[in-house]
A and B are shown apart, each in its own frame.
Chain A
């Protein structure tokens, strides 16, 4: 065998002592190779716009008036005649003296009407008989909106008829219906006390923050997995780990991709902050002026006052805490999951093989999303508490809870558990990773992964 000896001077020894931390180099490469991509720029700048569009466009589309659907009615019970319906659903009537169900159906088939509503009268005029025997025929499937509209119309009429038959004046009933509007306040420091409780806004914020952190963690953790698979399948990994330790490569990758996430998030925060600033600078004074005008005219405009209240409520929410929390829980959750994803990526040869391992790993996050509604309803309940202590669910559950204001010790405890778990997880993942990246063409099972942990 060749001797591993060289007569060459060891001039490189001097350089070795000055050798920079390779993790920094790896972080730099991972960061730059992603940030320089056009897709990063597009997603970062357009992301918030696309996100906003995703929320707004369906709402706009849903609020657009439907095409007019003309409905022909055979109202044998004289229940709703001569109601003319509304813009989208104009009602026209057939004469019950000249038509029965069959002839009306025949007429409808050849006519240009879109739907045919049949209200029978029965033997005697019985509301219970009528309610069960109303028929609606459509040229296409009648839309839910149309059915809901007609349901409402018929129910109101039948209710009124029933009340009249029992000797009750429907007017009296209408006047007796009362809607309660509780104004809730949060007891806190003087400033907060004065502000009306922002529960609905906080709920929305909790949901959005929870969803966003899920997407962020998942999106970037999957990128770590992809990066590991790329290095493995392109076979560069053996060259790299002959220069750095597998653990350093894994950590460099996790930190590099994580910093891309943080930069992207900060850009989004700055963009959103800018939009909010513009909105509050230009629209708030206008709103105040409007309110003053209206006050003078004695005609308060409900919508504008609500708009003003939202600005007040926004001010009452502890945004720095939420943003800080987001960054912390993103990093914590991302570290935890990306370490697991890195281990998975190292164990498989192509992304398609990842499915069987992905589900068990992501299940806790999905569970946190499923329980989001319960957590929001009771942000300080036992479910919310335990879910925000378990490190696999805490990033999402905590983000949902944070806007509601929770005891600070819980934040610290949950944070400490998360940090502790990710250190442990990085250690375990590192063990699987260093074996996995050098294994090719082997179908890996959970049992196999467990074995690698013990190498």
Chain B
């Protein structure tokens, strides 16, 4: 879930978590309306997250898991597994105030996933993590997704969106601007940019406009923009043996984000 500051991402997440009620509309969870009891099926890691500083890590993890409906024994055995997996075995008896920020975030991550929720909502999950822990958590999120959990990300970090998400939704001013499979949206926002590498310099590009031109060990890399598909030009290059590579350049999520926020969506809604 993407959107500029103040777009309504956190408000929407809070509605999904039943922290606040929507002004209008309904939230459906699977094939039925969201119920108060569904909180145990959702794991939520808010952007503004914290822990009880004076409480021991182990007690805190058990407390939060029990609030989600686990029994103490269940919570304990699952926590042990997660603590091992995330290399935090020695955390259990420490007080939260004695942990580093990264360590505390690992604890927060565990409390979010411990009750095996079907829906996981992460609001800027990687803030404050070093690259090693970011990768560790990314790996765990992918694993949870592969195991069947639905994961909703709310983030500004576009590179992690492209890496992790299958679907994206972009909201602005409380409205969904665009929503759908990531690849489809990138294709939709394709703006006729192509990367073409040739052995030798090309003099004629027809109606295509050269955006950039760089020489490298494979030849000359052109970035061209064309309103129509430059099939004829590319075929000619291929036939003459001058073509090294040809690729359609899809816009990055960041480009799409900026374009939509500044100019609005191409269509009101993507299928």
Residue from the set A12, A25, A243 with the largest chain B CB neighbour count within 10 Å: A243
B76 is an interface residue with CB less than 8 A from chain A: no
Chain B residues bordering chain A, tally (CB within 8 A)? 55
B179 is an interface residue with CB less than 8 A from chain A: yes
B69 is an interface residue with CB less than 8 A from chain A: yes
B148 is an interface residue with CB less than 8 A from chain A: yes
B208 is an interface residue with CB less than 8 A from chain A: no
Which of the 9-residue segments B149-157, B186-194, B218-226, B254-262 touches chain A? B149-157
A176 is an interface residue with CB less than 8 A from chain B: no
Given A234-B51, A238-B49, A242-B42, A3 contacting B69 (CB threshold 8 A): no
Binary contact track A221-242/B, C-beta < 8 Å → 1, others 0: 0000000001101111011111
Which of the 9-residue segments B52-60, B126-134, B227-235 touches chain A? B52-60
The residue from B31, B118, B149, B179 contacting A1, defined by CB atoms under 8 A apart: B179
Given A4-B28, A4-B29, A15-B69, A239 contacting B46 (CB threshold 8 A): yes
Whether the pair A8, B148 counts as a contact (CB closer than 8 A) is yes
Name the CB-closest residue of A to B152: A2
User: How far, in angstroms, from A234 to B45 measured CA to CA in the complex?
Assistant: 14
Whether the pair A6, B48 counts as a contact (CB closer than 8 A) is no
Least CB distance, A35 to chain B, in whole angstroms: 14
Name the CB-closest residue of A to B38: A16
Least CB distance, B26 to chain A, in whole angstroms: 12
Whether the pair A243, B67 counts as a contact (CB closer than 8 A) is yes
Whether the pair A242, B69 counts as a contact (CB closer than 8 A) is no
Whether the pair B148, A7 counts as a contact (CB closer than 8 A) is yes
Residue from the set A10, A20, A29 with the largest chain B CB neighbour count within 10 Å: A29
Whether the pair B148, A234 counts as a contact (CB closer than 8 A) is no
The residue from A7, A238, A242, A245 contacting B48, defined by CB atoms under 8 A apart: A238
The residue from A15, A33, A231, A238 contacting B40, defined by CB atoms under 8 A apart: A15
When distances are taken between beta carbons in the complex, the residues of chain B under 8 Å from A438 are 14, 19-20
A296 is an interface residue with CB less than 8 A from chain B: no
User: How far, in angstroms, from A124 to B147 measured CA to CA in the complex?
Assistant: 114
Given A33-B55, A236-B49, A238-B19, A19 contacting B69 (CB threshold 8 A): yes
User: How far, in angstroms, from A25 to B59 measured CA to CA in the complex?
Assistant: 12
Binary contact track B1-36/A, C-beta < 8 Å → 1, others 0: 100000000000010111110000001111100001
> Which residues in window 286-329 of A have CB below 8 A to B?
none
B197 is an interface residue with CB less than 8 A from chain A: no
Given A4-B30, A5-B30, A243-B64, A16 contacting B37 (CB threshold 8 A): yes
B199 is an interface residue with CB less than 8 A from chain A: no
A244 is an interface residue with CB less than 8 A from chain B: yes
User: How far, in angstroms, from A238 to B45 measured CA to CA in the complex?
Assistant: 9
A22 is an interface residue with CB less than 8 A from chain B: yes
Whether the pair A16, B69 counts as a contact (CB closer than 8 A) is yes
When distances are taken between beta carbons in the complex, the residues of chain A under 8 Å from B108 are 239
Whether the pair B53, A234 counts as a contact (CB closer than 8 A) is yes
Whether the pair A241, B19 counts as a contact (CB closer than 8 A) is yes
Least CB distance, A108 to chain B, in whole angstroms: 63
When distances are taken between beta carbons in the complex, the residues of chain A under 8 Å from B52 are 33, 230-231, 234, 236
User: How far, in angstroms, from A70 to B152 measured CA to CA in the complex?
Assistant: 88
Whether the pair B1, A3 counts as a contact (CB closer than 8 A) is no
A450 is an interface residue with CB less than 8 A from chain B: no
Given A243-B68, A438-B19, A4 contacting B55 (CB threshold 8 A): no
Given A4-B119, A234-B53, A242 contacting B30 (CB threshold 8 A): no
Whether the pair A5, B150 counts as a contact (CB closer than 8 A) is yes
Whether the pair A6, B67 counts as a contact (CB closer than 8 A) is no
User: How far, in angstroms, from A420 to B156 measured CA to CA in the complex?
Assistant: 49
Whether the pair A2, B167 counts as a contact (CB closer than 8 A) is yes
Main secondary structure of the interface of A (DSSP, over half): loop
When distances are taken between beta carbons in the complex, the residues of chain B under 8 Å from A241 are 19
Given A6-B30, A6-B118, A438-B14, A22 contacting B49 (CB threshold 8 A): no
Whether the pair B70, A15 counts as a contact (CB closer than 8 A) is yes
Least CB distance, A13 to chain B, in whole angstroms: 8
A283 is an interface residue with CB less than 8 A from chain B: no
Residue from the set B27, B41, B166 with the largest chain A CB neighbour count within 10 Å: B41
Whether the pair A3, B150 counts as a contact (CB closer than 8 A) is yes
Least CB distance, B121 to chain A, in whole angstroms: 9
Whether the pair B46, A25 counts as a contact (CB closer than 8 A) is no
Whether the pair A19, B40 counts as a contact (CB closer than 8 A) is yes
> Which residues in window 100-144 of B have CB below 8 A to A?
108, 111, 115-116, 118-119
Whether the pair B151, A235 counts as a contact (CB closer than 8 A) is no
When distances are taken between beta carbons in the complex, the residues of chain B under 8 Å from A238 are 14, 19, 44, 46, 48-49
B265 is an interface residue with CB less than 8 A from chain A: no
Whether the pair B64, A1 counts as a contact (CB closer than 8 A) is no
B250 is an interface residue with CB less than 8 A from chain A: no
User: How far, in angstroms, from A1 to B69 measured CA to CA in the complex?
Assistant: 28
Binary contact track A424-448/B, C-beta < 8 Å → 1, others 0: 0000000000000010100000000
Residue from the set B18, B52, B55 with the largest chain A CB neighbour count within 10 Å: B52
Chain B contacts to A: CB under 8 angstroms: 1, 14, 16-20, 27-31, 36-37, 39-42, 44-46, 48-55, 63-64, 66-70, 108, 111, 115-116, 118-119, 147-152, 165-169, 176, 179
List 28 contacting pairs A-B, 8 Å CB cutoff, sorted by A: A2-B167, A3-B150, A4-B16, A4-B150, A5-B31, A5-B150, A8-B118, A12-B41, A15-B69, A16-B37, A16-B69, A20-B69, A26-B67, A29-B63, A234-B53, A236-B49, A236-B51, A238-B14, A238-B44, A238-B49, A239-B44, A239-B46, A240-B67, A241-B19, A243-B40, A244-B39, A245-B36, A438-B19
Chain A contacts to B: CB under 8 angstroms: 1-8, 10, 12-13, 15-16, 18-20, 22, 25-26, 29, 33, 230-231, 233-236, 238-246, 438, 440
8 extra interface residue pairs, beta carbon distance < 8 Å, beyond A4-B30, A6-B149, A6-B150: A2-B167, A6-B148, A12-B116, A25-B66, A25-B67, A243-B39, A243-B40, A244-B39
The 4 closest A-B pairs by CB, nearest first: A1-B169, A235-B50, A6-B118, A234-B50
